Structure 1
Amino acid sequence: MSTTSQQYDEVIATCRNLFINKMTDYGSAWRILRLPSLTDQIFIKAQRIRGLQTLAESKVDEGQESEFIGIINYSIMALIQLEKGIVEQPDLNVEQATKLYDQQVAITKQLMMDKNHDYGEAWRDMRVSSLTDLILQKLLRVKQIEDNAGKTIVSEGLDANYKDMINYAVFAMIHLS
């Protein structure tokens, strides 16, 4: 399991670096995004990955990896928005946003480690296309929960679904590396 932990950290380091660089370029403009807007951004990325996996040719010179990074980063932003709420104006500097990013990653990684223990690293035998489909399924669930004003009867909430999408995307990135 230490290999999984190390590989997870390597993927997150790549995502975190891009997050910090974009925060430096754009600030925390993403803080104005409502959850459905973030969900739609993730959905677009997941749909593009699925297209790349099924199409013989792509017209944009970016592969699956950059889209999985986007899924991870947008999902972390969504978790931050769930915790802090949406604002009318950007309100975080790079240091503050990175601290919140790292907190959400720590919680999500612990969830992965707990599930990984219980499931015996079953994800290692899965195809990247199956992980993509699971992300799309989670997105459809999130959209339904959002349409239900965040209420669920017996199901996990939004946060659990975003965390699962992060972990599936990290697993896909590990497979692709």
Structure 2
Amino acid sequence: MQNTSGQYDAMMEICRELFQKKMGDYGSAWRILRLPSLTDQIFIKAQRIRGLQENKVRKVDEDERSEFIGIINYSIMALIQLEKGVAEQPDLSTKEAIQLYEKHAAATKALMENKNHDYGEAWRDMRVSSLTDLILQKLLRVKQIENNKGKTSVSEGVDANYQDMVNYAVFALIHLKS
């Protein structure tokens, strides 16, 4: 079996470092974003990835990798917003934001490890395009839950969907690095 935990940590370290650098540039301005706004930002990233996968011509010189990193970071921001609520003004220091980031990243990795055990690392045989489609499906589910004012009758909540999006995006990054 390959070193999924180590590969996962390496990808998440890249994401965390970018998050930290952006905190240095912008502070916690993202704290004013409501969950549907974060969901829409993730949706834009996922749609762009799908377009990159389907279109032969690229007019912006960025690849899928940077968009998957964006999905991961925006999803973790959403998990933080779920925990703390939306702020009226930026209210987190870089240190506080990183602590929250790491807390939610660790919980999301724990979920991945449990599912990965049960599914036998099936993601390793998946295509990056399929992981993109799964992220888009999760986004449509989150949008529907948001439209239902957060209520579900038998389904998992938005937090689990954000965590799944992080994990699918990390798997895609691992595939793209291979």
CA distance in 1, matches of 2:87, 2:151: 22
Indicate the SS of the match to 1:5.
helix
Letter in 2 for 1:89: Q
Is structure 2 residue 73 aligned with structure 1 residue 73? yes
Per-residue deviation at 1:44? 0.1
Per-residue deviation at 1:15? 0.3
Is structure 2 residue 9 aligned with structure 1 residue 9? yes
Task: Please give the per-residue CA displacement for 1:83-126, whole angstroms capped at 9, x wherever unaligned.
Answer: 00001000000000000000000000000000000000000000
CA distance in 2, matches of 1:43, 1:22: 20
Letter in 1 for 2:171: F
Alignment of 1:130-149 (within 5 A): 130-149=130-149
Structure 1 outlier segments of 4+, above 6 Å? none
CA distance in 1, matches of 2:82, 2:158: 8
Per-residue deviation at 1:151? 0.4
Indicate the SS of the match to 1:175.
helix
Alignment RMSD: 0.7
CA distance in 2, matches of 1:2, 1:41: 32
CA distance in 1, matches of 2:53, 2:146: 28
CA distance in 2, matches of 1:59, 1:6: 34
Letter in 1 for 2:146: E
CA distance in 2, matches of 1:77, 1:57: 31
Partner of 1:36: 36
Task: Please give the per-residue CA displacement for 1:54-106, whole angstroms capped at 9, x wherever unaligned.
Answer: 00011000000000000000000000000000010000000000000000000
Per-residue deviation at 1:2? 6.6
CA distance in 1, matches of 2:95, 2:84: 16
Is structure 2 residue 104 aligned with structure 1 residue 107? no
Per-residue deviation at 1:25? 0.5
Note the residue ranges of structure 1 that are not aligned, 5 or more in a row: none
Partner of 2:92: 92
Percent identity between the two aligned chains: 75
Alignment of 1:146-161 (within 5 A): 146-161=146-161
**TM-score for the superposition, normalised by structure 1:** 0.99
Is structure 2 residue 51 aligned with structure 1 residue 58? no
Indicate the SS of the match to 2:87.
coil
**TM-score for the superposition, normalised by structure 2:** 0.99
Indicate the SS of the match to 1:145.
helix
Letter in 2 for 1:129: S
Note the residue ranges of structure 2 that are not aligned, 5 or more in a row: none
Partner of 1:165: 165
Aligned length: 177
